[in-house]
Amino acid sequence: MAILKIAKMGHPVLLKPAAPVADPRAPEIATLVRDMIETMEDAPGTGLAAPQVHVPLRLVIFKVGSARARQEDGAAETGEAAGGVPLTVLINPEIEPLSEETVLGWEACLSVPGLAGEVPRWRHIRYRGVGPDGGAIEREASGFHARVVQHECDHLDGRLYPSRMTDMSRLMFTSEIRHHTHASPED
C-alpha cells in the first residue's frame, strides 16, 4: 500500500484523454486500486480518478456518504442515494444522461486544492462500467451521486471542473465559500 502523489492543475496528465483498461483483473490494476483508495482516504476526498495519480487509465473510485447523498436536489429519487453509495471502483465507465435537466452544485477537486466552484451537471444519469472483479456495473444516479460520477469521469477525458463552469464569479477559495453557501464541497 502506498499514498500516491496527486497531480495538480497544470500537469499535462490531467489534460489528456486516458486509455481504456485492457484487463480489469490484472494484478497491477489491483495494486493501483488499493493505492488509490489509500490516497483518497488520506486526502480525504470523495472520489479520485487514475490520471490524478499520474496513471492515464480509465479508472475512477468514489464513495458518497449518506449525508451528502441527501444534500443535493434529486437524491431522494433513487433509493440507493438516500443511504449513500459504498466505495465503488469503476473501470472503463460510460455515462448516459437520462434527461436534459441540469443542476448547479458546488464541487472541489484534489487536483485544484483550496478552491471550489459551482458547476452545472446532469441531474439524472445512468452509468455503466466494469468492477475490479471483471463484473458489470450499471446504476442510475441523481443528485450528488450523479455529480460525483460526472466529475470523476471528466478526469478521464482531460476535463477539470472549472472548464465546466458557466459563471466564473462562482469559483472561490474554500475559506471564503461560507460567505456564499452552507455547502461544504469536497472531492
Size of the site for Ni ion (CB under 5 A): 2
H helices present in the chain, as ranges: 27-42, 66-71, 79-82, 143-156
> In this chain, which stretch among 4-12, 15-23, 61-69, 179-187 interacts with Ni ion, using CB under 5 A?
179-187
Retrieve residue 154's grid coordinates: 471528466
Q: Is 186 in the site for Ni ion (CB under 5 A)?
A: no
Closest CB to Ni ion among residues 3, 82: 3
Q: Is 187 in the site for Ni ion (CB under 5 A)?
A: yes
Query: Contact letters (x/-) for Ni ion, 28-67, by CB under 5 A?
Result: ----------------------------------------
Q: Is 21 in the site for Ni ion (CB under 5 A)?
A: no
Binding positions for Ni ion, 102-161, rule CB under 5 A: 109
Least separation in angstroms between residue 111's CB and Ni ion is 5
**Residue 72 designated active-site:** no
Cis geometry, peptide bond prior to residue 44 (ω within 30 degrees of 0): yes
H helices present in 9-65, as ranges: 27-42
100, 152, 176, 186: the active-site residue: 152
CA nearest to 162, candidates 93, 111, 95, 94:
111
3-class secondary structure, 111:
coil
CB under 8 Å to 26, separation ≥6 — which residues?
Answer: none
Residues with active-site annotation: 152
